[in-house]
Amino acid sequence: MTGDAQNADALTGEVLRSALVAAAEEASIVVVRAAHSAFVVEGSDASAALLDRRGRLVSQSMATTLLHSASLRCSLPAVIESFPLSTMRDGDVYCMNDVYRGGIHANDILVFKPIFAAGVPQWFAATLIHILDLGGSAAAGVSALATDIYQEGLQLPPIRIGTIDGLDQQLLSIIAANSRLPDATVGDLRALIAGANVAARRMASLIDEYGEAGLADGIEGHLAHSERLMRIGLRAFPDGIYRATYGLDGDGIHPDRTYTVAVAVTIAGGRATVDFSGTDPQVAASINAGFSQTMSGALFALRCFLDPTIPMNEGCFAPVDFVIPSGSLLNVTPPFPGGGRFLAVFAAVEAIFQAMSQADPHHAIAASGILQPFALDGRGSNGAWIHAAYELGGMGARWGNDGLDAIGVHHGGGRNAIPQSEPLESRYPFVVERVELIADSGGAGTWRGGLGTRTTFLLLDDARLTMRCDRLERPPCGVQGGRDGRAGGYFRQLPDGTSLRLPSKSSGIAFAAGDRFVLETSGGGGLGPPGNRDESAIDIDIANGRVSPDGARADYGRS
Amino acid sequence: MVVHVAAQNQTVVAVDIGGTFTDAVLSTSSGLFTAKVLTTPADPAQGFMECVRRVLAAGNVHPGSVERVVHGTTLATNVILERRGAAIALITTDGYRSLLALGRHGRVEEERYDLWGSQPEPIVPLSHTFEVRGRMQANGDVLVAFDAIQAAEVADAIAALGVAGVAICFLNSYVDDRHELAMAEICRSRLGPRVSIVTSASVLPEMREFERLTTTVMSAYVGPVMSDYLRSLAESLAQTGVHAPIFVMESAGGVMPAALAASFPVHTIESGPAAGVIAAARFGGDCGADQIVAFDMGGTTAKAALVRGGRPDITHDFIVGGKGSFGGRRAGSGTPVKIPAIDLAEVGSGGGSIAWLDPAGAVRVGPRSAGASPGPACYGAGGVAPTVTDANLILGYMSSDSMAGGTMRLDVQAAIDAVTLTVARPLRVSLHDAAYAIHDIANADMAAAIHVVTVQRGIDPRRFTLVATGGAAAIHACRIAARFEMREVIVPPHAGVGSAVGLVRTDLLTERSRSALVPLADADPRHLQKLFDDLTAAAAEDLESDPRTMIVERTVAMRFVGQAHELEVAVPSGSFDARALQALEQTFLSDYRRVFGLDVRGAIELVSFRSQVRRSVGAPIRDDAPEGVDSPVALERAAWFPERGGLTPTKVARRGDLEIGRVVDGPFIIEAADSTTVVPPGWTATVHPSRSLLLRPADRHT
């Protein structure tokens, strides 16, 4: 870029930057509002992005899970590999879900629509949502005991799902035939395409406004702007190599195995290298992650220690090198399963948090409880039903501050993704009897870990439960003398009150009408010795019920 | 000049309390008078009374002859945001004590990367939150009987806390509220009449326990403060000799009697901004425009709302303190309060917004604002940061004496210094290039608010007229309109006190709603007719009016089975029969196609039902501002127009000097005591008989 161009960008580049983000944002709003899967509409488990023909991320929607941030940019090259740019036609729509080529897992469908300028695809509008079911050995994509990819659902390599003449009905019928909820699945696919159409239209009007060359220049300025901000942030961080590991409970199949994710973060001269060498090899169980998921998690974790307002685009990736060994837990290869991706990725995120904490003990955070998903399904008089949702564990204590209760710290999530009870009860054969904070579940410390929750479902009809989670056997650890958080779990409570602890990864567990399903999430770890906790903070915790009088005695020596 | 022949020659005083200024308008049979004083945040009633005294003096009107007082207030919003409501307790269903404390906070945008933030304390602390056994199911069956003994124990425990109010919210009470009513009765008998009791089903009988809970809690929290405030206001007015009934602007664009505002205080949350939209609707209507983008620009924020067919668009998903960039209020931010409210988008960009360079050297504008103190650098009150107002002054759009009718002189050199130091010199660009970049970025930021209410709702803004209110709005209005290819801009008379003028012209309005999940295929028209009749009767009772004398509008929220988002569909007037059901289905399908661009077929369900009643009291305005004479334009100054190559000699006229029918070609600047209008090159301005300025691209004369 010339000096003049750079000045022009500095002066009014903000106008185009906003327009590019707004285009992606608008697309994601359309996707969420038009979607059929409750997962999407309640949890906003959707993303939209603009990309260029080289697969670089131009802009991304801002409301959604940060574990989506790398997947669209990593997958587009796979689509272009299968469908060279010269073969693409205006009006084409492509989709895929291949975890080995940049995708996430079977249920996350990625849609791409080329945007033409001067007769060639210059940019792409892309959208992505978690659809509720696309087959596999268990409902809702929670095939917790899968030992290969084929048990996790229908695999979609890059395909052309539509052209200017409309959607490919044969492909649609294959997709519908592979879903337990065909109508919702096809509805969600249409929502994805509607969103991509919106982003493409906005991009076309930007081409009109700026001209092709002007827009291309402006986009370069936009990416360079984020990259400069990233480098400034990385330079402000003390140079060094920061190492940490974090463990997983197990894989659900081999009872005596545990796993470890290792990371070395090197910060030097405004660049970062995130190296996962030393991470355990992949396993024939559903705890591995595709490389794009690992990249999303790693960039997110790094950004938690930088300026949070940097616009997300390729410039954020530019000063970061990723070393993700192929065939490890964090870079799965065929035919190993990848559906349990968040288990390995959250361990990677935690390991980076712990590594970065070493750079400054006053910016330390203890380990946190994670997202704890489940799916209940049954076959009532009105047909099959699936309720898939999750609850969140407590956040680890931070230096100077208690952890937040039940919040999704590893993916930038929040509690607005948890469905409310009344809409569920109006639709499904269960009563959500209790949704409560678990007293004493936050790890004791000078600063206390955030609390976990207990949710109790009273089943009014027979149902089956499928779930997978982590940090239930090795609970979130405390740091600097703080104690571990309380481990959560999945339980079946019989009508007589007997409570049975269930494995943390399983599928198809039978529940009878009258049984209760109890979901407990883990509390976050504490930070600093409990004996140093401020007395008035303990009083407030007791008044609010976050710590019980017994807990205060046991953890803080209150008489 | 008489704009409207007043049907009722009412003497009306309207007072709008904003963040910086309190504005009053007096409408009488002989004309319109205005007054403006600084808001008195510690005791807003003080500024209110001062403003009333001034405006009565200006109109030479005896206090006793005032027939109606209309008030726009941000009290409810401020009480919630500043957390200074009444001490209250909360009673909820066994198992749900954590409902409010857990919240539904979604970490939005940059918050997602924030590992260091603190947990917000719930408005009712857990120590004041109680559970009572008793469980209603979604189908109305009782799963667990209401435990009256435990309820009495809870009421006694609350008595010991000494609270001013109690909020009661039980699961599924929108289906059957008998447990809530029983709990309320027990509270009343044990806590006495001085403690106000609010049940969730009385406030919002709709599904989704969290929004019902927050709406109920906020009602209990704000109610005592609001009723104290309105009572003392009535007393102060009476002491001044004003004995007229008081009406309060509510968020959906109507006014309600003060007593009703005290019972339903959350309905007044968007009071002031709603009045501005009504002003835009009425003045736009005077010019024959009924498809309007109401655009209001203040010191710290800009707001946009749609008016279609003369009526503002309404949302039912309002969030107090909601945030999100580009004018969106993100679900999961702020506190949801389920009231009908004018669908406003708001961006943190206004005259006081500060321009700055980010670490990578790019110019940014806002969201930090210089506010009223120290204010923009040119106010000369100690501000050194360059603001949008400073840029407008440098560009010649404003002059040193164009603020507040010249009573407040602006310091041009201070503006130049601020822009030079912060933007022009570091980037090595000219002063005017830097100032225009600030102006341009502010335009884009403010346009985002319009984008939210049009493009993002699937509405093409090109057919709309932009109506600009707020003192500086008309400096930016044509540039913003051009971004959307909008071809008409209206600047109403008294644009700078638009909200207060809107209050005078607002109708009585209230609504009631109820949730009930009904598959369209199973809908029984007679049942629905009864449901609507009950809602309409309850709403009419709120206004103490006979429903037959009122305008009634009914809507149904509908969606495809399986979706969680609904579309609001208008019910045709007349009795509810099978044909009405068919019409509903057709409207829903075509609205869906319009909004989502998707032609979907599938099972449809009805989700909730609303009835809105309105009674016309909005007084027409008689504006006897002096008729302009065809005076020559005496003034000229240099103003910056990039399409003319930069600084351009530009004619300037006082607004009162332009006679009706006068047409001027841009570049041209029109100044009034309360607002400035910039007519850019390629635009013309015409003085409409209603005294509004009509601005259009030059290729479209009328």
Q: Where are the domains of chain A?
A: 3-227, 361-559
With a cut of 80, say whether residue B667 has pLDDT above it: yes
* pLDDT of B187 strictly over 80: yes
Beta strands in A393-449 (DSSP E): 430-437
CA distance A400 to B319: 31
- pLDDT score recorded for residue B617: 67
Q: What is the pLDDT of residues B15-64, one digit of tens each?
A: 998 777 788 999 988 888 888 887 787 888 999 999 999 999 989 999 99
Q: Compute the average pLDDT of residues B419-435.
A: 95
pLDDT value for B3: 29
Q: Provide the pLDDT for residue B405.
A: 57
| Mean pLDDT value of segment B440-449 | 93
A39-53, A186-200, B27-41: which has the minimum mean pLDDT? A39-53
At residue B226, does pLDDT exceed 70?
yes
Q: What is the pLDDT of residue A342?
A: 93
Give chain B positions within 8 Å (CB) of A353: 115
Best residue in B98, B143, B476 for a mutation probing chain A (most A CBs within 10 Å): B98
CB contact under 8 A, A187 and B137: no
In a 10 Å sphere around its CB, with 0-12 CB exposed, 13-18 middle and 19+ buried, how is residue A75 labelled? buried
The predicted structure's pLDDT at residue A52: 96
- State the pLDDT confidence band at B515, using cuts at 50, 70 and 90: confident
Stretch B264-291: mean pLDDT: 89
pLDDT above 90: residue B549: no
pLDDT of residue A3: 46
B104/A450 touch (CB, cutoff 8 Å), yes or no: no
Kindly report which listed range (A6-10, B67-71, B113-117, B673-677) carries the lowest average pLDDT score: A6-10
> Considering CB atoms only, which of B102, B112, B360 is closest to A66?
B112
Do residue A12 and residue B119 have CB atoms under 8 angstroms apart? no
Chain B hits for A38, CB-CB cut-off 8 Å, are: 562, 564
Q: What is the pLDDT of residues B283-303, one digit of tens each?
A: 999 999 999 999 999 888 889
Report in angstroms the alpha-carbon separations of A261 from A147, A244, B302: 20, 9, 49
Which pLDDT does position B627 carry in this prediction?
Answer: 40
> pTM value?
0.88
Task: State pLDDT tens for residues A365-385.
Answer: 999 999 999 999 998 777 788
User: How far is residue A260's CA from residue B29's CA, in Å, rounded to a whole number?
Assistant: 82
User: Which of B107, B427, B563 lies at the smallest CB-CB distance from A7?
Assistant: B427
> What residues of A are in contact with residue B114 (Cβ under 8 Å)?
304, 308
pLDDT value at residue B310 = 84
- H-run or E-run covering B212: helix B209-240
Mean pLDDT of A125-144: 87
pLDDT band at A304 (very low <50, low <70, confident <90, very high): very high
Q: Given a cut of 70, is residue A89 above it in pLDDT?
A: yes
Range of weakest confidence among A461-465, B32-36, B368-372? B368-372
- Give the pLDDT mean for B441-448: 93
B487 pLDDT band, cuts 50/70/90, is: very high
* Least CB–CB distance from B106: residue in A34, A353, A416: A416
B208–A422 C-beta distance less than 8 A: yes
pLDDT above 90 as % of chain A: 76
Mean pLDDT of B669-679: 91
Residues of B in contact with A187 (CB under 8 A): 560, 562, 600, 602
CB-CB contact of B593 with B507 (8 Å): no
- Selected for mutation to probe chain B from A220, A223, A300, A544 (highest B CB count within 10 Å) is A544
User: Pick the residue with more confidence: A12 or B26?
Assistant: B26
Tokens of A282: 């992949």
Among the ranges given (A207-216, B113-122, B127-136, B435-444), the one the predictor scored with the smallest mean pLDDT: B113-122
The C-alpha atoms of residue A129 and residue A189 are separated, in whole angstroms, by 9
Is the pLDDT confidence value at B263 over 70? yes
Predicted local distance difference test score (pLDDT) of residue B631: 45
A406: left (phi over 0), alpha (psi -120 to 50) or beta: left
Which one of B95, B437, B444 has the shortest CB-CB distance to A436?
A: B95
Which range is least confidently modeled, B93-97, B263-267, B546-550, B688-692? B546-550
Q: What angle do CA B655, B656, B660 make, to 5 degrees?
A: 90
CB contact under 8 A, B172 and A66: no
Find the range with the poorest average confidence among A343-357, B170-184, B218-232, B313-327. Answer: B313-327
In the predicted model, what is the mean pLDDT of residues B104-128? 87
> In chain A, what residues touch B116 (CB-CB under 8 Å)?
363, 398, 401
Give the number of residues written for chain A.
559
Most confidently modeled range among A37-41, B18-22, B499-503: B499-503
Contact B119/A13, CB-based, under 8 Å? no
Do A436 and B118 make contact, defined as CB atoms within 8 angstroms? no
Q: What is the pairing mode between strands B21-28 and B12-17? A: antiparallel
Tokens of A4: 């003049």
- Kindly tell me if the per-residue pLDDT of A315 is higher than 50: yes
**Alpha-carbon Rg for chain A in angstroms:** 24
Select the residue of A187, A198, A225 nearest B362 (Cβ to Cβ).
A225
pLDDT tens-digit readout, B618-659: 656 656 544 444 444 458 999 999 999 999 999 999 888 899
Tell me what pLDDT residue B320 has: 81
Nearest to A13 among B111, B207, B362 (CB): B362
Q: Identify which has the larger pLDDT, B313 or A10.
A: B313
What is d(CA A324, CA A327) in angstroms, rounded to the nearest whole number? 9
Contact between B564 and A41 using a beta-carbon 8 Å cutoff? yes
Mutation site, A65, A422, A520, interface B, largest B CB count within 10 A: A422
Of B433, B415, B423, residue with least CA distance to B364: B423
Contact call for residues B250 and B261 (beta carbons, < 8 A): yes
For the stretch A27-37, pLDDT in tens is: 888 887 777 76
Whether the Cβ atoms of residue A90 and residue A62 lie closer than 8 Å to each other: no
| Nearest-CB residue to A304 (from B97, B113, B138) | B113
Chain B hits for A308, CB-CB cut-off 8 Å, are 110-114
Say if residue B269's pLDDT is above 80. yes
A509-552: pLDDT as tens digits: 999 999 999 999 999 999 999 999 999 999 999 999 999 999 99
- Average pLDDT over all residues of chain A: 92
* B701 pLDDT more than 50: no
pLDDT of residue B406 exceeding 70, the answer is no
Q: Which of B126, B437, B565 minimises the CB distance to A544?
A: B126
Q: Inspect the interface and report whether the beta carbons of A33 and B210 lie closer than 8 Å.
A: no
Residue A284 has a CB neighbour count (10 Å cut-off) of 14
Please report the pLDDT score of residue B446 as a whole number: 93
pLDDT at B268 over 80: yes
Q: Which residue of A has its CA nearest to B171?
A: A422
- Residue B640's contacts (CB-CB under 8 Å, 6 or more residues apart) are B394, B395, B396, B397, B432, B435, B436, B646, B647, B648
Distance (Å) from the alpha carbon of A391 to chain B's nearest alpha carbon: 12
B327 pLDDT tier (thresholds 50, 70, 90):
low
The CA distance from A194 to the nearest CA of chain B, in Å, is 7
C-alpha distance from A11 to closest chain B C-alpha (Å): 5
Contact A36 B595 (CB under 8 A): no
- Rounded Cα distance between A351 and A356, Å, is 9
Q: CA A142 → CA A294, B311, B563, B620, distances in Å?
A: 19, 48, 22, 64
ipTM of this predicted complex? 0.91
Using CB atoms, pick whichever of A198, A365, A425 lies closest to residue B137: A425
Distance between CA atoms of residues B236 and B318, nearest Å: 32
CB contact under 8 A, A422 and B171: yes
Q: In this predicted structure, what is the pLDDT of residue B6?
A: 33
Distance from CA of B108 to the nearest CA of A (A): 6
Q: Which residues of A touch B598 (CB under 8 A)?
A: 34, 190-191, 194
Average pLDDT, chain B: 87
Confidence tier at A38 by pLDDT (50, 70, 90): low
Please give the share of chain B, as a percent, with pLDDT higher than 90: 50
For the cut 90, the answer to whether the pLDDT of residue B489 exceeds it is yes
**For residue B623, what pLDDT is reported?**
60
